[in-house]
A and B are shown apart, each in its own frame.
Chain A
């Protein structure tokens, strides 16, 4: 069994060198953030994750959350770990200062989230959802609502949930049917919500649900959905908990992974209807949800990075201890650990190189989010927003799809022992598997990318990003032989991305269905090439840093090696993916639905 060690060196490198920490530190509202603070926060988070969260992960998976008499109990140890988590103030990391949070920007909270999710994804979904609720209330709640709900959600004394999904409304939330009827200053909510993560539990005494529902006279579709705060227990004016609201946890799902995280069916309004409070105005609920989408989707994208990292560490440890066979080309001699076999090394390199690329892209996107929020120059703010909007579905879709693949490779490294649960390698694959589904499936991310982000904009942001990718070419060329392969591989891949992008822009107006048919390959293409861009930048910087006398040579040589591997093993996929995009739509649609 491996134990988790946060990859602090790589995180620091990605934060400082690739995401541009110093630039973020200079923004108004972020001045408190500097390299020393980030180091201190990361090392303490790493310590907490290693000592408290990671050791519970396995047992949580085995025991799972349980439901009895409408009460959900988290696995043993989870309640205590959560208590320690909030007592240490981690819940308030990104929360606004006026409600007791530390207000740290995403360039800090994103790596910290990676640490939590690597150590114990199932538990840490709970605070992630709470921060989603906080974001929504901060942006759209009334001052009274903010005062009533935000302090305890920031401290973590209460947790938050997102209640969007219903049996008939998953990817398409316009089909939401839950009803909300006005009754004086509040509403009565009735309906069934499914798949609600941490919708009921024993970690805290209260839970604040954010619920999408329709008022009786609301228009059909997306423009008729409102957003409500519906607490498990109502709160008296003095802040004390009052009556229990009319919400019941009917069942929890038996599922492939994240066993410790209860996925609840919640029945609202068995009796008179649960009391809820409207957020903002009626019929604007989905619009409000969309404003937090970048944040939420980025968080799930980071889960892909987190599980990949954990699976890599687990596989690496096994590869270092399992003895099997002899070194290739040698007769006799001692048997060796499997890390000596070239194919095992290939697997480990691919896990590591891809994880590093994903991490870099996720942090880079987090920095774009910070700039979009805090940059004083409106033009730069707009540019960052465009980049963020473009990269968010890529980080969500690509990092999670890769996360699943990497966790699967982790099992392969283990051989038969990976397939049996005993080694724990399988849990990472099972846990990773949800990340490509919730918070919008990969298909939905890809639709967003080719539609709203590339198609409608005529490729403006995408081509701007491609331009930025090309900008480092001269610098790579200046280094010469050492980075020649990195340069050639990146250039070729960017050409493919550009031609696929132009195809999307040209085809979208006339044949949106064809574009939709190859949207996922395009998303993967974008992720693969953007990851290659990050790795090429990393190589440039590593190469530069190596000239310094006190350089961390092991780390930087490692970075050059993973960057090169990425260029030679991952970037060539760009050619195939681009071809799929530009020439593959017809065959996708060749069979009529009735002919399957």
Chain B
């Protein structure tokens, strides 16, 4: 069974993000970038399934600037067999991602697509769901467990009230939640091997997809700074402040 995973290149979660002075977005030039942590979990899952003999081939897809090749190499160092970079300088939005992925799915015919539940940069949490809708495939978002059972996948989803166990028919799209697994450390021999794995570069045009943004960002600004705290003398004062100043009770 072939699995497709998506990997997005995002600002490293340890980096303090700065808003561009013109308010058009956040500063990404010369900032440390890394693989989106949820994508890492998706890759790890695919690799574990391959190690368990359930999966025969893993293909990773990244959409973005040429530097996304590094992210694909990391995925390959984790155990992905080959990579596809859909190269574009456009800041792709969830619908564009879903359309690109639909085109790749048509070419690759995987039985399962594993994506991260969201990317930590824009936190959209939409691409997986949109892709399933465009393909007309079953979907299970926010999974914390997956087992392949013949033509079905038994998955556990993390939902507001607890855990939901469902079976979905394959082919399907699933998105990884935090507790699905703990990604491994890449090993040095695998970093070396990853260099030699195939990496194909295609343009969105070649896939017949228009990735032009549909949403316009009006302005990006830093959240308001938190004011200093105050000490209150007793519960009475606290309640008064919550009522009159914070106006939350």
Q: Which residues of A contact B (CB under 8 A)?
A: 5, 8, 32, 36-37, 39-41, 43-44, 47-48, 51-52, 84, 87-90, 92-93, 102, 550, 552-555
Contact = CB atoms under 8 A, between A and B. Distances in A.
Given A5-B14, A39-B70, A40-B73, 13 more contacts: A37-B192, A40-B70, A40-B77, A41-B188, A44-B74, A44-B188, A88-B187, A90-B188, A102-B188, A102-B192, A552-B29, A554-B30, A555-B30
A51 B34 CA distance: 15
A93 B188 contact: yes
Nearest to A93: B188
Contacts of A554: 30
B186 A88 contact: yes
B77 A44 contact: yes
Contacts, number: 53
Contact of B188 (A92, A552, A555): A92
A44 B185 contact: yes
Contact residues on B (Cβ < 8 Å of other chain), bracket: 10 to 19
Nearest to A91: B188
Interface of B: 14, 29-30, 32, 34, 70, 73-74, 77, 185-192, 194-195
Contacts of B74: 40, 44
A555 B30 CA distance: 9
7 contacts: A37-B192, A37-B195, A40-B73, A40-B74, A41-B191, A89-B187, A552-B30
Contacts of A44: 74, 77, 185-186, 188, 191
Nearest to B30: A552
Sorted nearest first, the 3 A-B pairs with minimum C-beta distance are A89-B188, A552-B30, A89-B187
B159 to A, nearest CB: 30
A417 to B, nearest CB: 23
A401 B195 CA distance: 40
A40 B185 contact: no
A166 B15 CA distance: 49
Given A39-B70, A44-B77, A554-B30, A102 B189 contact: yes
Q: Name which of B70, B188, B194 has the most chain A CB atoms within 10 A of its CB.
A: B188
A106 B241 CA distance: 63
B32 A48 contact: no
A36 B195 CA distance: 9
A40 B185 CA distance: 13
A84 B185 contact: yes
Nearest to A41: B191
Contacts of B192: 32, 37, 102
A102 B185 CA distance: 17
Contacts of A88: 185-188
A9 to B, nearest CB: 8
B10 to A, nearest CB: 14
Contacts of A32: 192, 195
Contacts of B73: 36, 40
A40 B14 contact: no
A44 B73 CA distance: 12
Nearest to A8: B32
